[in-house]
Amino acid sequence: MKKNKLYLFIILACFVGYGWLFFLSQIHHQTQDFDLTVCLLKRTTSIPCPSCGTSRAVMEISKGNVISSVFINPFGILVALIMLLSPFWIGYDFLLKKDTFYQFYQNVEAFLRKRKIAIACIVLVLINWIWNINKNL
């Protein structure tokens, strides 16, 4: 992916993510019993996907409840870090006409393409998925 497309994609994803979190917080303040499951897998099969609960996990982090967030879904920490750091990092690159975020992205992508690393990541996702199913998330 080219630098400008990546930066635009990340900024838009963060914008949508912040909007989604704001929407969830407003719904949560209005009613505690509102079920807003958007996961197609869970809606059709009642089985949670590996990322089910990530929004709630990020919401818990925003309240300072990191341990609770990890128990909901460990992916929440990764998503929260990306949502917090990437807009500032991309802004830094934009203002100083650098490409440090893009270089970091390329390095991470190359690292994740290594067979052993990819297999380890897949195993972690599967473990998280099994955990989500066992928690009846």
| Residue 125, pLDDT above cutoff 70 | yes
pLDDT of residue 78: 95
Asked if residues 21 and 62 have their Cβ atoms less than 8 Å apart, the reply is yes
**117, pLDDT greater than 70:** yes
pLDDT at position 131: 92
- Give the per-residue pLDDT at 34: 61
| Structure confidence at residue 44 (pLDDT) | 87
Q: How far apart are CA 67 and CA 137, in angstroms?
A: 17
pLDDT at 64: 93
- 96 vs 38, residue with greater confidence: 96
**Helix, strand, or coil here: 46?**
coil
Q: In the chain, what are the domain boundaries?
A: 3-135
What pLDDT digit, counting tens, does each position of 42-88 carry? Answer: 888 888 888 888 988 999 999 999 999 999 999 999 999 999 999 99
Report the distance separating Cα 117 and Cα 63, nearest Å.
32
pLDDT for res 1: 82
Return the pLDDT at 37: 73
